[in-house]
Structure 1
């Protein structure tokens, strides 16, 4: 098999017209890495803005006040989605790595992760956005 590429060894990919020719499992790997980096940067910013309270409580209050706008609320929904996906997919990755039957069931487990993610994100998004939408468009 020397001199053959991975695509030649494994046959044609299912990716279609995308730049990457991998399947859903590889996209889940990419999404896992991206959501991990996003979560890291959020935690870094959170530690910094929380530490600001010791330096200047007034500056801290101003920073916290900037977080109370609709755009930041959308970012919060995205953050919850990223953390939830990263956590659920992390469980799947551990099962694939440490459960003897994990590799065999990795695709059904990925679909389970996606279904659970959607099932949690739909009501979660509603409850996170209801106050922002009512503030923007009137309401009780």
Structure 2
């Protein structure tokens, strides 16, 4: 099942983001200048595209996680897992597409 693979991949991606986030935020305690220098390197289109991937992963992982909880703990979950997967896809698209449009206008079009 591809949702199983996507759930694991999105989870690993989110984990590595959180690891980097904790490390770069910890720089504040070392030096404010070092922190500001690292943060300034994030202001480029490549990181902007990575942020799109991060938000897509977070949205998918969250909604698919809810689906998995329902499959495991709701008596009708296994019977309705296909419908719930379609719902996850629809909700993901409904939230992700507007974010991508708005975010990429900031990344490539200025403020």
Runs of 4+ in 1 over 6 A off after TM superposition: none
Higher helix content, 1 or 2:
2
Structure 2 length-normalised TM: 0.97
Match of 2:77 among 98, 102, 108: 102
Are 1:73 and 2:61 matched, yes or no? no
Larger-Rg structure: 1
In 1, the alpha carbon distance for the partners of 2:108 and 2:16 equals 27
Are 1:35 and 2:10 matched, yes or no? yes
Q: Residue by residue, what CA displacement relative to the aligned partner does 1:89-123 show, whole Å, maximum 9, x if unpaired? A: 00000000000000000001001101110111110
- Displacement, 1:133? 1.8
In 2, the alpha carbon distance for the partners of 1:39 and 1:104 equals 30
Tell me the SS of whatever aligns to 1:100. coil
Matching residue of 1:46? 21
Matching residue of 1:17? none
Match of 2:103 among 108, 122, 128: 128
Match of 1:82 among 46, 57, 60: 57
Aligned residues: 111
With CA pairs under 8 Å and 6+ residues apart, which has the higher RCO, 1 or 2?
A: 2
Match of 1:115 among 73, 86, 90: 90
| Aligned-residue RMSD, C-alpha | 0.9
